[in-house]
Amino acid sequence: MRYIRYAVLGSLGIILISVSLANRGMVTLKLMPDDLADLLGFNHGIALPLFVVVLGGVVVGLILGFLWEWLREHKHRKDVSTKKREVRKLEREVGKLKAQKNEGKDEVLAILDEAS
């Protein structure tokens, strides 16, 4: 299974490298369309290779997706932590009740009673 994962990661790396080498042409990214920039008198642009733009878009999309999913699952994590606290509280209560039940008994009988 580990070799299959390495094969998939290796082939993905080769594909990304070949796409990057094929798309080395420079493109200009602008903050606003030309008409709007002329109206406002502000236009900022940067020249980058096309593969940086494409792979950067993929990375930003993945990060936004992971962040969105993490925020969406907040209620589930909250429920789990509440349930864990409740379980710990109930376990402590059960331990106290067992200790009260075994108060007057012999130690060996109390240990055997706790095991069952």
3-state secondary structure of 27: strand
Q: Are residues 66 and 96 in the same domain?
A: no
**pLDDT digits 0-9 by tens, 25-81:** 999 998 888 888 888 888 888 999 999 999 999 999 999 999 999 999 999 999 999
Rounded to two decimals, the pTM is 0.62
pLDDT band at 102 (very low <50, low <70, confident <90, very high): low
Q: Please check whether residues 58 and 82 belong to one and the same domain.
A: no
User: Domain containing 30: what range?
Assistant: 1-72
Structural domains counted in the chain: 2
Nearest to 47 by CA among 73, 67, 27, 68: 27
Residue-level pLDDT at 53: 92
Quick one: 87 and 62 in the same domain? no
Q: Do residues 11 and 45 share a domain?
A: yes
| Same domain, residue pair 77 and 67 | no
Question: Whole-angstrom Cα distance, residue 37 to residue 32?
Answer: 6
Q: Does residue 89 sit in the same domain as residue 40?
A: no
Same domain for 28 and 41: yes
How many Å apart are CA 69 and CA 76, to the nearest integer? 11
